A and B are shown apart, each in its own frame.
Chain A
Amino acid sequence: MKPLLQSETFVRIAAPVGVGIVLFCLWEIGFRLAVVPVYLFPKPSDIFTSLMHNGPSLLRALLVTLRVTLQAFALAVVLGTLIAFVFVQSRAIEISLFPYAVLLQVTPVVAIAPLIIILVKNTQLSLTICATLVALFPIISNTTLGLRSVDPGLANYFRMNRASRLKTLIKLRIPGALPYFFGGLRISSGLALIGAVVAEFVAGTGGRSSGLAYEILDAGFTLDIPRMFAALFLITLTGVVLFGAMVALSKAALSSWHESEIRAET
């Protein structure tokens, strides 16, 4: 058993957490000394109190946002991968359709969210659609790139052995695309959350939502700044956990062979 400080995993977690604790302490002490009013900028202790006080309603809001995020993320992964598979079937398909994928990416979700929310009656569904639109593009572009980035030597070998298209896809293209796909997952998981929150904001201004964004809006209306921060804290936490989950997933899938996940020998 190695001493704790020499364990890389421990250091990787402890170091950023340590920085966080120090910053929180400085924030708390500094704001106490300067006597900043709570309604202008709360101290960590105020936020914590609010988190405890509004726990049930914040937790309910968190679950709503989380559900939209996860649904949108799952949908984006499935759709994005399918679209990528269609794209790599032929250059013609990719050339004709890729600009529309880009169109999807460059259109701000706030601009189309009102339209979608009006068109789709079910709030949950309309929010999921908005978030999916945001999360979709990285999956499409990364997976397409991955499926195209086949080692030319291996591709030649498969051709020589008269491998069918299907076999080439399963045995060569898909495994080769995995590192790119997982890269797409990392980006997309964060975007799904952003998309969900932005859509909730748009829906929330119409009074038709109950997610974390709505909590922030509502706290703004009532000048309950600590609750605003508490909701913000929960959103951030969700994003970090999602990202961490994707990193872990990618590590589990690639650690045995891909350069990006192999720890360098010291």
Chain B
Amino acid sequence: MNALLPGETFDESAKRMTASSDRPPAVEVLSAEKVFTNGTRGLAPIDLSIADGEFLTLIGPSGCGKSTLLKLIANLIEPSDGRLLWWRGGFAQVGEEGRRLAFVFQEPTLMPWARVDANVRLPLELADVAMAKAAPMVADAIERVGLSAFSRHFPQQLSGGMKMRVSIARALVTNPNLLLMDEPFGALDEFTRNKLDDDLVRLWWDRKLTTVFVTHSIYEAVFLSTRIIVMAANPGRIFRTMTIDQPQPRDGSFRDSPKFAAYCRELSTWLAEASLPIASGSVS
């Protein structure tokens, strides 16, 4: 893949390789659908390609299958039909060579008996990574979420936002290429949520992480995403797609811009349409 074309310098080759159109997509969902054992159609067949380095947000009314789609992408559940590809193949586990994915739940799901550093070390320990090798990785992940001063604290000594940061650090410690987040900041107050969103944008940008994010918040979706997928229910399907073509990495000033408000307004209208009993619009 990295071979030089005739007459091409190494730099040009690198540029070509990093141009988004040339890179293989991070995730391809190939007409995957989900029918639950009780017969409910959770997801109609969905086709979706997630580009490498993209920040994709899934939003929609409850029951639209956004969490189901995220779990399919995370390989937490199997599609009833169709299939998924990660970087045109599979993904690697922690400790293996290759590209990895990490999942952040709605709840921090920390071990209350373990200190912050031990909690962050967990995925490495489960993959039998040696203590000595794990220590700098853990310290780095904790620093990235700004909790270095709290690495010897217990979860119960931390606020809700800080616990969520620990949860994110635990996901980052495995050095994932694809970060999947299921309404991670849903239980936090708006101020904390905005702060964590700011930090998430920076993390995503610095690490060139491909991120798939599920949220209920229109503002959060517009602020974070490069692309937003609006989903509709009965059965769960992609309703519309919105591209947020704004400079990166974004910061608080984007929230105050008129463009931000315009995006939010439009997204809000779409969501209202997606929530109608018989939603018009494309079923891809």
Contact = CB atoms under 8 A, between A and B. Distances in A.
A161 B109 contact: no
B39 to A, nearest CB: 24
B11 to A, nearest CB: 39
A262 B156 contact: yes
Contacts of B107: 153
Interface string A162-192: 1100010001100110100000000000000
B156 A161 contact: no
Contact of B93 (A157, A162, A178, A262): A162
Binding site of B, secondary structure by majority: helix, strand, loop or mixed?
A: loop
B111 A161 contact: no
A249 to B, nearest CB: 16
State which size class the interface on B falls in.
20 to 34
Contact of B154 (A154, A171, A256): A256
Contacts of B76: 160
B109 A153 contact: yes
Binding site of A, secondary structure by majority: helix, strand, loop or mixed?
A: helix
A-B pairs, top 3 by smallest CB distance, nearest first, are: A153-B109, A175-B113, A161-B126
A248 to B, nearest CB: 19
A257 B156 contact: yes
A165 to B, nearest CB: 12
Interface string B45-83: 000000000000000000000000000001010000000
Contacts of B112: 257-258
B236 interface: no
A153 B122 CA distance: 14
A158 interface: yes
Nearest to A159: B76
Nearest to A256: B154
A92 to B, nearest CB: 23
Interface of A: 151, 153-154, 156-158, 160-163, 167, 171-172, 175-176, 178, 256-259, 262
B122 A171 contact: yes
B263 interface: no
B105 A161 contact: no
Contacts of A154: 109, 111
B105 A153 contact: yes
Contacts of B94: 161
A157 B113 contact: no
B179 to A, nearest CB: 14
A34 B184 CA distance: 73
A167 B105 contact: no
Nearest to B155: A257
A161 B113 contact: no
Contacts of B114: 175
Contacts of A153: 105, 107, 109
B123 interface: yes
B264 to A, nearest CB: 31
Contacts of A161: 94, 122-123, 126-127
Interface string B118-133: 0000110111000000
Given A156-B105, A258-B113, 17 more contacts: A151-B109, A153-B109, A154-B109, A154-B111, A156-B109, A161-B94, A161-B123, A161-B126, A171-B111, A171-B122, A171-B126, A172-B111, A175-B111, A175-B113, A257-B113, A257-B155, A257-B156
B185 interface: no
Nearest to A151: B109
A31 to B, nearest CB: 51
A171 B125 CA distance: 10
Contact of B103 (A158, A160, A172, A175): A160
A257 B47 CA distance: 46
